Amino acid sequence: MDPLVQAFFESYEIANSSSDLTAIGDLYAETFLFAGPSAVRSVRRDDFLKVIPKMKTQFTSLGLTESRLSSVEAANLDSRYILAKVQWTITLRTVEGPFNHFDAFATYVLQHCDGKLSIIFQLDHQDLAAVIHDKRHMHP
């Protein structure tokens, strides 16, 4: 594992957990592609940073309490681009009260420029809000 890639996603985890918009913004290119189960769109970093507080509020209201980095697999695509497959462990409070854990997966393409990495493509492999909703309403 490339220590730079590991450190990058550890920084991502910390920035996300503390809702540090400046740190989150530093992880993304000025414009990047975001893909989910139903669509792909080009996103400006400044627009993305404006919606993060709303997204955090939504996920918190759904019971999400924590996202932890579980694993990172990285492969160089060439001298400038890295493919990273990341597993996150999501913790949420269920309707019944106990905590539930599940894994979420994302694939990123990182650009390596001047010793710094930035996300130029992010693919979330599931609709996180829908998965959280389903998990919260499952009976143990």
Q: Domain segments of the chain: what residues?
A: 3-136
pLDDT tens digits, one per residue of 77-118: 999 999 999 999 988 876 666 678 888 999 999 999 988 999
Helix (H) or strand (E) holding 130: helix 128-136
pLDDT tens digits, one per residue of 14-65: 999 998 999 999 999 999 999 988 899 999 999 999 999 998 888 877 777 8
Q: Whole-model pTM? A: 0.87
What residue has token string 């993060």? 52
DSSP 44-80: EHHHHHHHHHHHHHHHHHTTEEEEEEEEEEEEESSSS
Helix (H) or strand (E) holding 9: helix 3-18
Band of pLDDT at residue 137, cut at 50, 70 and 90: low
**CATH code at 3-136:** 3.10.450.50
